[in-house]
Structure 1
Amino acid sequence: MLAILREISVTCFFTSYLVVLVLELLRLAGRIPGRGLAVLVMMVVGLFTHVCYIWLRASAIDGADAGMLATWSDWSLLMALALAIFFFVFYLLRPDTIISFFFLPVVMGLIALSFAVGHLPPFTRTEAVEVWRNAHAVAMAVGSSAVLVGFLAGVMYLVQSWRLKRHRAGSSLRLPTLETLGRLNRRCLVISTIAVAIGLLAGVVMNLNRWGHVDWTDRGVLLSVLLLVWLLAAASVEFFYAPASRGRKAVYLTLASLGFLVLAMGGVLSTPHGQSGETPAVDSAVIESPDSNIRSDGERSL
């Protein structure tokens, strides 16, 4: 099976996205039976081959000091994958809209860009760790902030709902409307889910570059994964299940998300995962450059 996957090339997913774009252009010619199913199939094929190609590319590191997913070509492919996923999600939510004309040309342009910058040398492991650490920190900070903003919007929603039931909304304490607060709450839920997912993936790549493995049994990592799973479930419930009180449902989901966030932050801060002085579980010589070994030997001789 792995041998078959190694035959995947950029042409596979580029062609898949191109076929999807052509199928979407055929909308202008009128209704074509089976066109929508063909779009779904080709997008699944494109995303699957795209992910496999990046995964295999990350697994085949050229040189002991070369960073994993640490070239401009890699990052162009990652950006293309992110846009392709966003397009597919939007397409599933609103298949009647035509957004492929905007997304897919940019996706294919980023794939072409990966070829144009393919000759540039990769960053070292140390540089890759710093880049992915910054991405991890920024994404998790954005995700946490979005959860907190959603929590505040949820509290204001409940207060405003209580005041409306008791006809006190016209007092000197003015709050945004329930529609505004509900919309803000849902947006924060989406932003926090995407940001935490990016942060978790960046953390995985950072650990692979730094230590060569990920300690999935670490309490901070487990709670971060649990937070992401909850946010994904909450976002799915929000967008695919519509009870009578849609706004109140989103509020309760966000309040629960705050609880998971507190647990995740507590797990991170109470373990070496969230401390700068953590020590790797594998021999650091595996990822050190020859120069660093020479310096270390010199320091020991002194």
Structure 2
Amino acid sequence: MLDFLSEISVICFASCYLLALLLELSRLIGRYPGRGIAVLAVTVIGLLTQLAYLTLRATGSDGGDELSRLATWMDWSLLTSFGLAVCFLVMYLRRPDTVISFFFLPAILLLIGLAMMLRNQPPFTRSEAFEIWRTVHAIGMAAGSAAVTVGFLSGLMYLFQSRRLKQKRAGSTIRLPDLETLQRLSRGCLLTSLLSVGVGVLAGVVMNLNRWGQVGWTDGGVLFSGALFLWLLIASIVEMLYAPARRGHKVAYLTLASFGFLVLAMFGVLGSPHGEPASKPGPPAVGIHTTMPSGSIVLGEILDQPEVFLR
């Protein structure tokens, strides 16, 4: 299986995105049955092959330099194009009647072309890559946590305002945003938290690959962060594809549950060595050897006693 995946090249997923663009451009000619399904199919194939390609580069299984763990300009261009492709797929599923492909797909292909132009650029060192991905990991998880918290608060306000409306007390001195505004805010926070936590989890995986050469999948912080991302993914899919989940109290309940997963993830991180800085070895002992009648004496870390050297 690994031998088969190792045959995947940039041409494979670039061809898929190009074919999807050509299929979408056929809108200018006329209507063709099954075109939308074909666009979705080739886009999904392109995403899967690109994911496999990036995974092989991240794990060093592509036969390249051991230090090349998504630590080149080529890798980052491909990651950006992958993120755009994911956004395109999600938006296309929601509104297949639009022509967003005319904007997204050319940008994706341009980024892939840029990656090919930068393929000969030397990679960053492992320590440099670790620091960069650690920063991305921290920013992604912090932004995701903030979005989940804002969604939780908007969900609480939605439920509180809905109860006040039922009791006909919404016109009192305590004013809150209307339900439609709170509902839009909850949905926006759900999607934002999914993207941010996804970036944070991915960056954490690459960070550990650059630091240790492996990922501690059984670590509590990793497990709970992955569970948070999985929940956000499921909640976003339900909200997107299940129409009743977009209305009423259901969005608020999804944001409340997301906050619960966030709390569990925080306890998982705090209760494990996840994220702790690596212990750095102390500086080598400075020793001065001098020969005396009684033998060889090592004078280490006593440089502040110069009288020793004068005896």
Task: Report the TM-score when normalising by structure 1.
Answer: 0.89
| 1:98 CA displacement | 1.2
Deviations 1:264-296 (A, max 9, x none): 1111012110322x45xxxx9xxxxxxxxxxx8
Match of 2:153 in 1: 152
- Distance in 1, matches of 2:102 and 2:248, equals 32
Do the aligned residues in 1 keep the contact of 2:220 with 2:268 (CA within 8 Å)?
yes
Unpaired stretches in structure 1, ≥5 consecutive residues: 285-295
Match of 1:14 in 2: 14
* Gap change, CA 1:61 and 1:68, over 3 Å in 2: farther
Match of 2:181 in 1: 180
1:190-205 map, 5 Å: 190-205=191-206
* Gap change, CA 1:244 and 1:167, over 3 Å in 2: farther
Q: Which has the higher helix share?
A: 1
Aligned length: 285
1:241-280 map, 5 Å: 241-243=242-244, 246-276=247-277, 278=278
| 1:4 CA displacement | 2.7
- Distance in 1, matches of 2:75 and 2:166, equals 54
Deviations 1:183-236 (A, max 9, x none): 000110111111111111110110111011111111111111111111112112
* Gap change, CA 1:153 and 1:298, over 3 Å in 2: closer
Do the aligned residues in 1 keep the contact of 2:10 with 2:50 (CA within 8 Å)?
yes
Match of 1:124 in 2: 125
Aligned-residue CA RMSD (Å): 2.0
Do the aligned residues in 1 keep the contact of 2:239 with 2:245 (CA within 8 Å)?
no
- Distance in 2, matches of 1:249 and 1:32, equals 37
Moved more, 49-58 or 172-181: 49-58
Do the aligned residues in 2 keep the contact of 1:67 with 1:127 (CA within 8 Å)?
no
- Distance in 2, matches of 1:298 and 1:233, equals 49
Do the aligned residues in 2 keep the contact of 1:157 with 1:182 (CA within 8 Å)?
yes
SS at match of 2:244: coil
SS at match of 1:274: coil
Higher RCO (C-alpha 8 Å, min separation 6): 1
Match of 1:82 in 2: 83
| 1:300 CA displacement | 4.9
- Distance in 2, matches of 1:48 and 1:237, equals 22
Letter in structure 2 aligned against 1:299: P
Larger CA Rg, structure 1 vs 2: 2
- Distance in 2, matches of 1:109 and 1:244, equals 37
Task: Report the TM-score when normalising by structure 2.
Answer: 0.86
Deviations 1:238-283 (A, max 9, x none): 122233882310111111111111111111012110322x45xxxx
SS at match of 1:272: coil
| Identical aligned residues as a percent | 58
Match of 2:284 in 1: 299
Unpaired stretches in structure 2, ≥5 consecutive residues: 288-311
